[in-house]
């Protein structure tokens, strides 16, 4: 994830939190369920001290903007602001950037401490069917040239739509396998440094896959779907491919 300014939603993670909360509401979840979905989807970021503040502030601020600020979320955000928020992350950017970020945090505090608006109605989105068919295998080639194989193993709730569930095949490369050989390639096993072993894709579509650089390789038989013991995360195709770039220096974990 990246940051392109001091604004609260200049941070990719904050934008994802905002969008996930809004999407859950538009899918018909009440405020409590929408919050629970966000906390579950961003469990990895919440466990990271460097990301926790961003997630918590974005969640509380978004709830406030939609007139659904939960008291627990409000207290959590204010406690973080009382301890300085995330200003320490901005020290290397210089005094001016720290000053701008501090002003952003003051505005967030004012919103959370001030009178809250009435719940803002949101037009429900009609669930859209996933377009990636279970059994299909897509390939993404990282900037280094290393290929990653992504198999669609099922469908699941991705907030406001049904999204494909992705698992990774443990293919060493450097070339792509023949379609006839896909059934012989095992799934990548869990590794502490490879945290995302099962991903639900939101906003699936051919254009989104092509924009992310994915190509269709072939079919891989899909057994009955058993949820991953390591949990799931939700991402777009582009976010998933960006994540793969960060895994590119890790060795395969077969055996």
Q: What is the pLDDT of residue 127?
A: 56
- 93 with 148, same domain? no
Token couple for 155? 């469908």
Cα 114 to Cα 185: distance, rounded to the nearest angstrom: 56
Cβ atoms 99, 185 nearer than 8 A = no
- 53 with 143, same domain? no
Cβ atoms 170, 253 nearer than 8 A = yes
- 109 with 140, same domain? no
Residue 52 is assigned to a structural domain of this protein: yes
Residue 219 is assigned to a structural domain of this protein: yes
- 106 with 144, same domain? no
pTM, whole model, 2 decimals? 0.55
Domain that holds residue 45: 8-113
- 90 with 142, same domain? no
Residue 120 is assigned to a structural domain of this protein: no
Q: What is the pLDDT of residue 225?
A: 65
Q: What is the pLDDT of residue 129?
A: 57
- 140 with 232, same domain? yes
Those residues with Cβ within 8 angstroms of residue 107's Cβ, 6 or more apart along the chain or in another chain: none
Residue 251 is assigned to a structural domain of this protein: no
Q: What is the pLDDT of residue 63?
A: 96
Residue 131 is assigned to a structural domain of this protein: no
Which of 220, 252, 216, 207 is closest to 154 using CA atoms? 220
Total domains, the chain:
2
- 20 with 103, same domain? yes
Those residues with Cβ within 8 angstroms of residue 168's Cβ, 6 or more apart along the chain or in another chain: 148, 149, 150, 151, 187, 188, 197
- 149 with 214, same domain? yes
- 86 with 180, same domain? no
Residue 254 is assigned to a structural domain of this protein: no
Cα 75 to Cα 55: distance, rounded to the nearest angstrom: 14
Tens place of pLDDT per residue across the chain (255 aa) = 356 678 898 888 888 899 889 888 887 889 999 999 999 989 888 998 888 999 999 999 999 999 999 999 999 999 999 999 999 988 888 899 999 999 999 999 999 999 999 998 887 665 555 678 888 999 999 988 889 999 998 888 766 567 889 988 888 888 899 988 888 888 877 665 566 678 888 888 888 898 999 999 998 877 666 666 666 788 889 998 988 888 765 554 443
Give me the phi and psi of 28, to 5 degrees please.
110, 0
Which of 66, 98, 113 is a domain's end point?
113
- 146 with 101, same domain? no
Q: What is the pLDDT of residue 132?
A: 84
DSSP letters along 230-246, please? Answer: T--EEE-HHHHHHHHHH
- 65 with 96, same domain? yes
Q: What is the pLDDT of residue 255?
A: 38
Residue 100 is assigned to a structural domain of this protein: yes
Residue 253 is assigned to a structural domain of this protein: no
- 105 with 149, same domain? no
């Amino acid at each position: 994830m990246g940051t392109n300014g001091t604004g609260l939603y200049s941070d990719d993670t904050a934008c994802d939190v905002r969008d996930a909360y809004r999407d859950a509401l538009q899918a018909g979840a009440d405020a409590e369920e929408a919050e629970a979905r966000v906390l579950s989807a961003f469990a990895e970021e919440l466990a990271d001290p460097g990301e926790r503040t961003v997630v918590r502030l974005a969640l509380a601020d978004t709830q406030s903007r939609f007139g659904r600020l939960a008291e627990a979320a409000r207290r959590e955000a204010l406690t973080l602001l009382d301890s300085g928020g995330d200003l320490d992350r901005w020290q290397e950017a210089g005094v001016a950037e720290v000053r701008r970020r501090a002003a952003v945090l003051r505005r967030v505090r004012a919103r959370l401490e001030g009178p809250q608006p009435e719940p803002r109605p949101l037009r429900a989105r009609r669930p859209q069917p996933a377009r990636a068919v279970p059994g299909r295998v897509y390939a993404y080639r990282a900037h280094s040239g290393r290929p990653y194989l992504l198999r669609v193993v099922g469908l699941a709730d991705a907030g406001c739509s049904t999204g494909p569930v992705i698992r990774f095949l443990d293919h060493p490369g450097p070339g792509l396998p023949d379609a006839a050989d896909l059934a012989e390639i095992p799934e990548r096993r869990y590794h502490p440094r490879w945290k995302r072993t099962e991903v639900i894709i939101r906003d699936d579509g051919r254009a989104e896959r092509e924009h992310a650089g994915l190509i269709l390789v072939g079919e891989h038989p899909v057994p009955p779907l058993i949820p991953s013991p390591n949990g799931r995360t939700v991402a777009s195709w582009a976010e998933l491919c960006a994540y793969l770039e960060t895994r590119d220096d890790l060795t395969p974990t077969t055996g």
